[in-house]
Amino acid sequence: MKKIFVVIGTRPEIIKMSPVLPFMEEKFKLEILYTGQHYSKILSEKIFEDLQLKIPKYYLNSKSTNSSTQLGDMIKKISKILVEELPSAVVVHGDTNTTLAGALAANKLNIPVVHIESGARSGNKNEPEELNRILVDQIAFINFPFDANSKHSLLKENIRKNIFLLPNTAREAVKRNIKIAKQKSQILKRYQLEGTKYVLSTLHRATNTNNPTVLKKYILLIEKVSQQYKVLIPMHPRTKKLLKMHDLSLPKNVKVIPPVGYLDFLILMQKAFYIISDSGGVVDESLVLNTPLFIFRNETERDDVISLGKAALVKPSWGKNALFKFIKTKMSDEEIKRMKDIRGSFKILASKKNVTNYI
């Protein structure tokens, strides 16, 4: 039986791999290496347990405020483990520093790299995630894009071998995990949201939070929306710190709560009237949950959801007048109802024909 290593390090990666890991465990000797890029050992173990997944064999404490230092630390530690374990392949997902570190460490040891969610492109090379995607796709022995556009991006970059279309694992994860969330979550009761019409919002992307001009635009957007609807923001500590640093504050009628777990967040998304977020994962999750989404970015690598009409860009580059016009026309009750009524034709994994068939 082949030994396969999965290298992951963030909550979104655990979530997006949750439909794939049980299949891999059936077919291979599966080991999971968790870098700790975002979560501590205790918090990450809880996510694995909540989602009924195999617990990682290795934990690296690779948190760092400096991206370059973090990347170097991860490559060094991952390489040492791979030399000892010598797996047949290393599987990485998405576009984080963990993804790049796992791919580079394996590549330097001549271990084949499998990249899930390959070919996604926002077109903005100022985003660190975009460069990570491009580099890992070039390194990978097998690339798994989620749609025809992503496959086309790989072909345009002269990657022509071992490309296999795979249904979007983030969307399958929602289908799998919403059932668990409904059984376990008490979030609506905790914050007295049952039967309440509310707008859910998150902001975490560095290109947004590190820019005071963009933060001011976000506050302006939330302030306008909160005049009509209750707004709930599970706020990342880093975003909170940056708002304070730039002497910015949200309107008093906006409810800010601490970050919530994945299962609670699924329920919050499902019950929201609509969502405003800069998260890539929320784009896929909101689609499956049929909750209209407004993406607070100038571009997105999830064009298929925009094309379906289930999401729309709210651009930080817009002026005040353009922003207010958008809120009035696109965030109206009628428009939200229209977005909810659209039936998306997206693929969901329906059988065991997945990544395990190609490794």
CATH number, domain at 205?
3.40.50.2000
Tell me, yes or no, whether 115 lies in a domain.
yes
119 pLDDT higher than 70: yes
**Which of 52-66, 189-203, 270-284 is predicted with the least confidence, judged by mean pLDDT?**
52-66
Provide the percentage of residues in the chain whose pLDDT is more than 90: 70
The overall pTM is greater than 0.95: no
Domain boundary at 145, 166, 187, which? 166
Same domain, 195 and 76: no
Same domain, 128 and 10: yes
CA separation for the pair 163, 141 (Å, rounded): 9
Over residues 35-77, the pLDDT tens digits come to 988 766 666 778 898 899 999 999 998 877 688 999 999 999 9
Our count of domains for the chain comes to 2
Tell me which residues are annotated as active site: 204
DSSP state of 210: T
Tokens encoding 347: 């693929």
Same domain, 32 and 113: yes
Same domain, 146 and 230: no
Same domain, 150 and 229: no
CA separation for the pair 47, 92 (Å, rounded): 18
CB 94 within 8 A of CB 13: yes
Alpha-carbon Rg for the chain in angstroms: 20
Domain boundary at 115, 145, 166, which? 166
Range of the domain at 309: 179-341
Tell me, yes or no, whether 353 lies in a domain.
no
Same domain, 117 and 186: no
Tell me, yes or no, whether 35 lies in a domain.
yes
Tell me, yes or no, whether 99 lies in a domain.
yes
Number of other CB atoms surrounding residue 341 within 10 Å? 9
Same domain, 232 and 117: no
350 pLDDT higher than 70: no
Tell me, yes or no, whether 53 lies in a domain.
yes
- Which residues sit opposite 144 in a β-bridge? 116
Same domain, 256 and 137: no
CA 171 vs CA 39, 63, 78, 140, 259: distances in Å: 22, 28, 29, 23, 22
CB 300 within 8 A of CB 122: yes
181 pLDDT higher than 90: yes
Tell me, yes or no, whether 171 lies in a domain.
no
Same domain, 79 and 206: no
- What pLDDT is recorded for position 39? 65
Same domain, 30 and 149: yes
Same domain, 189 and 157: no
Domain boundary at 106, 133, 166, which? 166
Tell me, yes or no, whether 290 lies in a domain.
yes
Provide the percentage of residues in the chain whose pLDDT is more than 70: 94
Burial class (CB in 10 A: 0-12, 13-18, 19+), 245: exposed
Closest CA to 124 of 300, 314, 302: 300
CA separation for the pair 156, 238 (Å, rounded): 37
Same domain, 71 and 142: yes
**Which of 185-189, 213-217, 232-236, 340-344 is predicted with the least confidence, judged by mean pLDDT?**
340-344
Q: Residue count of the chain, please give it.
A: 359
